[in-house]
A and B are shown apart, each in its own frame.
Chain A
Amino acid sequence: MKAKTIKNAVEAHGWVGVILSVPLFIVFWAGALTLFFPEVSLWSNLPLRSVEASVQDSPPPSLSSLVEAQLRTVDADTTKKPIFLSLPGAHSPFVELSVPIVEDLEEEGRAEFLVDPQTGETISRGHPFELASFLYALHYNLKLPQGAYIVGLITLFFLVLLMTGLVIQLKNLLNHFFLYRHDKGQRMRAYDIHTVAGVVTGPFALMYALTGLMFNLNVLFYFPALKVVYEDDQVALMKDAGFPRLQVEPAGVAAEMPALEPLIARVEAVHEAEVSALSFMAFGDENAVIRFSGMKDGFGKRLDVRYEVASQSFPEALNAGSETAFSGIVMPLFMAHMGQFGGPGVRFLLFLLAWGVCGLILAGNVLWLVKREKQLSSYPWSHGLVRGLTLGACTGTIVATAAAFVFERSLPASLEGRVWMVQFMFGLVLLASTLTGFAVTSVRRFLAWSAISTAGLLAWVFLWDLYVHGRSIVVLWQAGETASGAVTLGLLVGAAFFAWLGSRILALGADQARTKAGFSTGATQTSP
């Protein structure tokens, strides 16, 4: 490969990397945590749990009666939009119900309920604990308007970063595989960490980049295919894709809805699957259709079965075309993206790899800053800006996440606007960290104190859990529901890790100061 090609690749890799580092870091960081969405969701909901209720043996009310009871409390409009019902399971102990209501400004036209499946009692109107959903939203749209497309574009350039990285390292890939020179200077070590992390996480990052693009930028190929190949026939396109659309026109004639439990049992037995959600189109109408969703046994096989109330059957016309070559390949890729295979062990492995990519981004930033130290030394303001926007915001994301956990746990469940407050505090801490990153003179101290602050916040949440929810966690753990306890333990491990990391960075700085080989990236820096 020509030297000019590699030089161009290095230049592009550096600039694209530093420009994208912050959103990319947030996407990967939030994505890593989203791998444990069900556990974090269960952990968040702990204050709503009644430990006594979870062990009682009273017969639960039927699902149909739960839906009908909630429909009576709102001005529901089930003619155009479906009712969604999420069954208690891995992510929530409650029945979650989303009912379309007559259009007004409230809740975007939907009313949400959390219902106790044992008693039928409405636990909450709306979702007071949304930390897991917030982290998930950060992962796929950064909580920005049109964020899904922005994240798609970022993912496209992430794929370009992987490709330019490959161009740069192609020659050294075999000779210097896993090379790490611990005895070299700061720049070489940052370079080696960046390269090793890139090699280790490379295949995983490629899978994530491609599947992320498929999630967020599928519109790019959807429209050309629709216009040219399918001649505007949306129904045919979606059928070929394996996601056939279903339009149900209500007849305007009331009909009794069937008992859902026997239907769920039948679907699960026939399809060897687990039903996790139901949706009702034209609920209570003669033309009503009930859709059963979930996962089948085996990797990446989704369940999508439709039941016609009028004929009391699963007619072929409604159920054909949900398994095509497209969905057969795309669905397993999506499952791989979300780590929904192989259990918690695989998710933990993916979590570590996602952290590896976060480390890759941070090391890349350090490398970029160290490399341009001399060039930028005459422009301290520019240097500070880049440092604040890269290191400040990246490490700030970690501290802000810990702060979000603190507020998620400590704000009262009944507090109006608590969901917004948790998100606001996340943003505020992130902003504060970015501004601090701009002003600091020692990057090393900044990184160390960010890690120690994160440790302190996580330890605080752990102690809160221990004293306030300790009994609930133990009772649930003994009943076999280990998710909440596992998150609490995870917070303790996280606190210990960040405390170790922070103290280690400080100790390294002290060592290097003694040997006059300080870590210096700031033009105005006097000591590490």
Chain B
Amino acid sequence: MWTRTLVGLVLGLLLSFSFALNLMLVVPVPRPVGMVVAFIGGFLVLAGVQTWAYCAPEFPRLLRWVVLTLGITFGLNAWAYLGSMS
């Protein structure tokens, strides 16, 4: 239980940050709109990952999915951030 709690919390936080930044950096909407969707959606992602961590029958499979999603969203953020710098 504790492992699932800690892993869910850490991965959930990372994924929710990355998802929130996706909405503000990648999605072409006005910043205040992206911000409010990121704000609400970020918490739902965080709680969703934590719930998934608790419920998943196969924990390693959950880890693979979350890390893969994290990689994709992080990659999108990096692409958008570097693009805006150049």
Which residue from A5, A157, A163 sits with its C-beta under 8 Å from B57? A5
Tally of A-B Cβ pairs under 8 angstroms:
98
- Whether B1 lies near A11 (C-beta < 8 A) is yes
Q: Please, how many angstroms separate the alpha-carbon atoms of A74 and B36 in the complex?
A: 43
- Whether B47 lies near A160 (C-beta < 8 A) is yes
- Whether B38 lies near A8 (C-beta < 8 A) is no
Return A198 CB to nearest CB of chain B, in Å: 15
Which interface class (under 10, 10 to 19, 20 to 34, 35 or more) fits B? 20 to 34
Return A47 CB to nearest CB of chain B, in Å: 43
Return A152 CB to nearest CB of chain B, in Å: 10
A218: B residues at CB distance < 8 A:
39
With A228-B21, A228-B81, A325-B33 known as contacts, the answer to whether A160 contacts B43 (CB < 8 A) is no
A496 at interface (Cβ–Cβ under 8 A)?
no
> How would you classify the secondary structure of chain B's contact residues: helix, strand, loop or mixed?
helix
Which residue from B20, B44, B56 sits with its C-beta under 8 Å from A221? B20
Contact with B along A144-180 (1 / 0, CB 8 A): 0000000000001101100110010000000000000
B11 at interface (Cβ–Cβ under 8 A)?
no
Contact with B along A13-35 (1 / 0, CB 8 A): 00110000000000000000000
- Whether B36 lies near A329 (C-beta < 8 A) is yes
Q: Please, how many angstroms separate the alpha-carbon atoms of A298 and B42 in the complex?
A: 28
Nearest opposing residue in chain B for A168, CB measure: B55
A270: B residues at CB distance < 8 A:
none
With A4-B57, A224-B21 known as contacts, the answer to whether A156 contacts B43 (CB < 8 A) is yes
Return B46 CB to nearest CB of chain A, in Å: 7
A512: B residues at CB distance < 8 A:
none
Q: Please, how many angstroms separate the alpha-carbon atoms of A214 and B40 in the complex?
A: 8
- Whether A213 lies near B43 (C-beta < 8 A) is yes
- Whether A221 lies near B25 (C-beta < 8 A) is no
- Whether A5 lies near B17 (C-beta < 8 A) is no
Contact with B along A208-231 (1 / 0, CB 8 A): 011001100110110011001100
Q: Please, how many angstroms separate the alpha-carbon atoms of A227 and B77 in the complex?
A: 13
- Whether B54 lies near A8 (C-beta < 8 A) is yes
With A5-B55, A224-B17, A228-B25 known as contacts, the answer to whether A163 contacts B48 (CB < 8 A) is yes
